[in-house]
Amino acid sequence: MENFVVSARKYRPLGFDEVVGQEHITTTLKNAIDNNKLAQALLFCGPRGVGKTTCARIVARMINGFEEKAEINSLNIFELDAASNNSVEDIRNLIDQVRYPPQFGKFKVYIIDEVHMLSNSAFNAFLKTLEEPPSYAIFILATTEKHKVIPTILSRCQIFDFNRIQVSDISKQLKKVADREKIKVEEEALHLIAQKADGALRDGLSIFDLMVTFSSGQAVTFKDVLNNLHILDYDYYFQVVDGLLAENHTQPLLLLDEILRKGFDAHNFIVGLSEHLRNLLVSQDARTIQLMEVPDITKQKYMDQSGSTSPSLLLSWLNIANQCDINYKSSKNQRLLVELALMKMAHVQSVVKGNGALPAQEGLKKKVN
């Protein structure tokens, strides 16, 4: 069997220009390096899989003047995973190494990953070295949990906060990988994967690999991804809203039943429906359309459906959905709560028209008479 390299490793950026969605950081780092103003202690904070280790390695390569795009050059780069090496001993070993200047290149770069895992005594043993490192040593600490790093360390580092990566950026990156690997994939499928990745590009790439394996040579489709990741098809929400617009609660209730029978959670459904209503609301104005994190093809669908609604109706629906969401956890009959919300939404227009308590038809008649 040929050795399979996962995409997350195969496509680890080798230069700042390939790093996605962290421009504020890559620009600052690049300028600092170009102007010889790089601090000796840096702290990279942010969620998992967004490019911290990647950027640390790029910095290490650049300041040593190693060929920027060359494969990992481990010379002068020392990586310590503090999650598994968190004792004072480990830090003492590291400090011992720091004493010797580099044999090649100008700098020795120490990358300490998951630095919040260091024990207290290890932290303390490290402080002095961090405060006054030899001129050739650069420390890059990385953590997903900045609040667990003690203030004495924080105050000795220049801090870089990494962003979660936006759905559209993850999706674009996946498309690049798919093209490079000559894999056919539907745009909506990529988008779904990107959403599931929840801000982490590494997760996006891992899910992508999984889907490629599943499709074994065939195109990766939206439907495959939906089924494999157990995601509710947003087409359901379009159908539910069609029912609500017709002031008919039958169809939404039947759809809810179908969704629950497929094993989806009613709470997720109501949260998803709220999101859908919010998307309809923002798609009513050209300026807010960009607030929707959906592929371009889907945007058109939202604009079409929102054409049949009014902002006040959408707001009434959103209020009902929101109340349902808030009360969900404490309700004894959660299914009924969601059904009730759907029924209220279906009839909110006629109730308003009918001035409150009476059903639509009678209410209207009363007004006419």
Ligand X SMILES: Nc1ncnc2c1ncn2[C@@H]1O[C@H](COP(=O)(O)OP(=O)(O)OP(=O)(O)O)[C@@H](O)[C@H]1O
Instruction: State the minimum distance, in angstroms, from the CB of residue 144 to ligand X.
Output: 5
Q: Site residues (CB under 6 A) for ligand X?
A: 8-9, 11-13, 19-22, 48-54, 113, 142, 144, 165, 201-202, 205
Minimum CB distance to ligand X smaller for 20 or for 88: 20
Q: Provide Rg for the chain, Cα atoms.
A: 27
Minimum CB distance to ligand X smaller for 167 or for 318: 167
The DSSP element (H or E) to which 45 belongs, if any, is strand 41-45
Minimum CB distance to ligand X smaller for 170 or for 342: 170
DSSP-assigned states of every residue in 108-176: EEEEEETGGGS-HHHHHHHHHHHHS--TTEEEEEEES-GGGS-HHHHTTSEEEEPPPPPHHHHHHHHHH
> What x-and-dash track marks residues 3-42 binding Mg ion by CB under 5 A?
----------------------------------------
Instruction: State the minimum distance, in angstroms, from the CB of residue 162 to Mg ion.
Output: 10
| Binding-site size, Mg ion (CB under 5 A) | 2
Work out whether the CA dihedral 182, 183, 189, 194 comes out positive or negative: negative
* DSSP bridge partners of 44: 142, 160
| Contact partner at residue 202 from ligand X, Mg ion, none, CB < 5 to 8 Å by partner kind | ligand X
Q: How far apart are the first and last CA of the chain?
A: 82
Instruction: State the minimum distance, in angstroms, from the CB of residue 164 to ligand X.
Output: 10
Q: In this structure, what token pair is assigned to residue 263?
A: 């094993």
| Contact partner at residue 167 from Mg ion, ligand X, none, CB < 5 to 8 Å by partner kind | none
Instruction: State the minimum distance, in angstroms, from the CB of residue 204 to ligand X.
Output: 8
Minimum CB distance to Mg ion smaller for 41 or for 115: 115
Query: Which residues, other chains included, contact 201 with Cβ-Cβ below 8 Å and sequence gap of 6+?
Result: 8, 20, 21, 49, 50, 51, 165, 169, 170, 173
The DSSP element (H or E) to which 259 belongs, if any, is helix 250-261
Instruction: State the minimum distance, in angstroms, from the CB of residue 176 to Mg ion.
Output: 21
Instruction: State the minimum distance, in angstroms, from the CB of residue 113 to Mg ion.
Output: 5
| Contact partner at residue 48 from Mg ion, ligand X, none, CB < 5 to 8 Å by partner kind | ligand X
| Contact partner at residue 30 from Mg ion, ligand X, none, CB < 5 to 8 Å by partner kind | none
Return contacts of 223-230, CB within 8 angstroms, 24+ apart. Answer: 224/189, 225/189, 225/192, 225/193, 226/192, 229/192, 229/193, 229/196, 230/263, 230/264
Minimum CB distance to ligand X smaller for 176 or for 262: 176
Residues 134, 138, 143, 148, Cα dihedral to 10°? 20
Among 7, 26, 40, 53, binds Mg ion (CB under 5 A): 53
| Contact partner at residue 354 from Mg ion, ligand X, none, CB < 5 to 8 Å by partner kind | none
Work out whether the CA dihedral 224, 225, 226, 230 comes out positive or negative: positive
CB atoms < 10 A from the CB of 332, how many? 6
Cα(6)–Cα(207) distance, rounded to whole angstroms? Answer: 10
The DSSP element (H or E) to which 26 belongs, if any, is helix 23-34
Instruction: State the minimum distance, in angstroms, from the CB of residue 53 to Mg ion.
Output: 3
Minimal CB distance to Mg ion: which residue?
A: 53
Minimum CB distance to Mg ion smaller for 145 or for 179: 145
Judged by CB under 5 A, which stretch of 46-54, 146-154, 180-188, 299-307 contacts Mg ion?
46-54
What's the burial of 42, exposed, middle or buried (CB within 10 Å: 0-12/13-18/19+)?
Answer: buried
Does residue 274 interact with Mg ion by CB under 5 A?
Answer: no
The DSSP element (H or E) to which 342 belongs, if any, is helix 334-353
Q: In this structure, what token pair is assigned to residue 176?
A: 């690049």
Minimum CB distance to ligand X smaller for 5 or for 297: 5
Instruction: State the minimum distance, in angstroms, from the CB of residue 73 to ligand X.
Output: 16
Instruction: State the minimum distance, in angstroms, from the CB of residue 57 to Mg ion.
Output: 10
Minimum CB distance to ligand X smaller for 8 or for 122: 8
Minimum CB distance to Mg ion smaller for 140 or for 211: 140
Residue ranges that bind Mg ion, judged by CB under 5 A: 52-53
